[in-house]
Copies of this chain bind each other. A is one copy, B any other.
Amino acid sequence: MDLVALEEIRRLKHRYLRCVDLKLWDEFADVFTEEAVAEYDTPLLGKTLRLEGRDAIIGYMRANLGPDKISTHTAGCPEIDVDGERATGIWSLDDTIIIPEHRLLIRGAAFYHDAYRRGADGQWRVERTGHRRTYEYTVSLDDMPSLKFTTSQ
């Protein structure tokens, strides 16, 4: 069992998740290989969102998860298999997106299915990521008239 690779891959995914929720798109880019593919199950858009290449992934995030949206991606429970310079991983996800301006909250859960590759520089990166939802709902913040934000960035 390659214990060091397991630690490195977990940390890679933790960085991925932190960069999304803090909108650190430059740091986020370094998580992916140049040819990385992302496929996010996005029922709200009525489809699976497929993004080909690191630039497309970062560009989409930058355009669609701007400062007007709050997101939390609580992921855990990794099941990682390492095979030399390649690895796969399953992760559970519980995510919430809040768009205060539209008074909208989107909540759901999913399982990620990722593939990772260790590059010539020794760093693991995400080569493929995607998730499939167990559920997702939307609800208007107007259903909770007393709700007040005390802070958001």
Chain A residues close to B by CB (< 8 Å): 1, 3-4, 6-7, 11, 13-15, 17-18, 21-22, 41, 43-44, 70, 72, 74-79, 90, 92, 94, 98, 108-109, 111, 133-140, 142-153
Copies of this chain, whole number: 3
Residue of B nearest to A90 (CB): B18
CA distance A3 to B6 in the complex (A): 11
Q: B94 touching A134 by the CB < 8 A rule?
A: no
CA distance A44 to B3 in the complex (A): 41
CA distance A22 to B133 in the complex (A): 10
Selected from B1, B94, B147, the residue in CB contact (under 8 A) with A74 is B94
Residues of B within 8 A of A134 (CB): 21-22, 70, 72, 152-153
Q: B74 touching A18 by the CB < 8 A rule?
A: no
Q: A143 touching B145 by the CB < 8 A rule?
A: yes
CA distance A18 to B134 in the complex (A): 11
